[in-house]
A and B are shown apart, each in its own frame.
Chain A
Amino acid sequence: MKAKPRLLTALDILSFLMVLTAAGLVFYYAPVEKLMGAVQKVFYFHVATAWVGMLGFLVAAAAGIFYLRRGEEQWDIVGVSAVEISLVFFLIAIIMGSIWARPIWNTWWTWDPRLTTASIVELIYAAYMLLRSGVDDPERRARFSAIYALFGFISVPLTFISIRLLRTIHPIVIGSAEAAGQGGFNMDAPMKMAFFFSLAAFSVFFADLLWHRIRLGELKAAVESLRVKSFQEEK
């Protein structure tokens, strides 16, 4: 049994400090937005969590390709770890977006492309977990979920384009002039600083969680093989 790597402990501490600093920057360093007021603060973590959600999807699809090509169990563990973490982060992003949307758009929810795509992604993750729980044979489960992660990853951009063509009110915050009327805004330097730091903090946090979860998966596999071994010895 491997002990917890030192680097992982360091990463724990780093991600804790970074998220804490990001929160500090958001609340005390970045100025309050003129039109929207304090509720705009949700934006920093909203985008950061959504980013982590998409990142996990990318990692899962890449792990799926590696699994199909190489057939090594560890890629399956990477895939499921990424999806599990991103499932939670994406849900947080959706809820935060909803909290932001209520005062600004005067509604909790609209069928805008990004909101709809986000909910579809969340459903694909959920379907992925259901697929895993429905297949008992580990090797087969790994193959199927790799394929599903890949398919999901390919379909999401198409979904996004399709819904975008329907209609959009979600602001394109960075570098868009027409967004101002829909709750978009221009970021000044401290805002940008807080924003990019939040992105970095959550990316590090994601890497930390992913590592933990992969380790958990490996330990689980090790326990499983020990159990099989002792069972055979008894016989």
Chain B
Amino acid sequence: MKLYLRAVGAVIWKDFRAEWRNRENLSAMLVFSLLVILIFNFALELDLNARASLSAGVLWTTFIFAGTIGLNHSLAVEKDRGCLDGLLLAPVDRSVIYFGKAIGNLVFMLIVEAIVLPIFNFLYGFNVFQPGFLGVVILGSIGYAAVGTLLSTMVVQARTRDILLPILLFPLTLPVIIAAVRASQGFFQNLPLAEFSIWVNILVAYDLIFIAVAFMVFDYILED
């Protein structure tokens, strides 16, 4: 078990080191998220009334779009430079690669969110620094990264990989999006937790189910 965790850690560490050297991925995700927020601001005319009901949706749409960029990049780099074969040669279980990549993607998403959220707070005046809300952000990102990493590993091996990921990913992650938006809205509008705790439960259920299934099928994705 200890060896397994060390191997997962090694995959994550490799991703961080590569990212630290060029910062391609993080900067692209970050600039993109800021642009999306800006576009929503003008497209939806977010005045005070509209903000209360729409901001949670704007926030999650931003995270999800930015997440797609990160997911696409994360596996495309491995494939283009032939690193995927190198990873596959490593004498470890295939699921190590999955968990390593998924956790790496999750951390990149969380870093971007950690920068976007204060800006969001500053622009729209919602208090984002509530432990419950941050928990929702983490739970939603986990579900998205778990399914997204699996699908992007599949997509990089396809001919039409540049366009395929969002098409495959969005319909499957709809429960995460709905639940995360609803739970965030609950926190933004200061509702009592009992009124929207069901959405947190759905997030937890989704995360557990899909991590388990991804763990079971990941071997088949990297078979050759």
Contacts and interface: CB of A to CB of B under 8 A. Distances in A.
B194 to A, nearest CB: 14
Contacts, number: 87
B171 A120 contact: yes
A18 B13 CA distance: 63
B49 to A, nearest CB: 21
Interface of A is mostly: helix
B24 to A, nearest CB: 25
A130 B224 contact: no
A154 interface: yes
Interface residues of A, number: 30
Interface string A55-86: 00000000000001000000000000000000
Contacts of B118: none
B117 interface: no
Nearest to B224: A140
Interface stretch (B73-81, B104-112, B156-164): B156-164
Contacts of A161: 175, 202
A151 B213 contact: yes
Interface stretch (A20-28, A102-110, A141-149): A141-149
Interface stretch (A162-170, A209-217, A218-226): A162-170
B221 A154 contact: no
Contacts of B159: 134-136
Instruction: Place the interface of chain B in its size category.
Output: 20 to 34
B147 to A, nearest CB: 7
A124 interface: yes
A53 interface: no
A72 to B, nearest CB: 14
Nearest to B172: A155
Interface string B49-62: 00000000000000
Given A158-B205, A162-B178, A151 B172 contact: yes
Nearest to A124: B171
Contacts of A134: 158-161, 164
Interface of B: 147, 150-151, 154, 157-161, 164, 167-168, 171-175, 178-179, 182, 198-199, 202, 205-206, 209-210, 213, 217, 220-221, 223-224
21 contacts: A127-B168, A134-B164, A135-B157, A135-B159, A136-B159, A140-B157, A143-B220, A144-B154, A147-B220, A148-B154, A148-B168, A151-B150, A151-B151, A151-B172, A151-B213, A154-B210, A155-B172, A158-B205, A158-B206, A161-B175, A162-B174
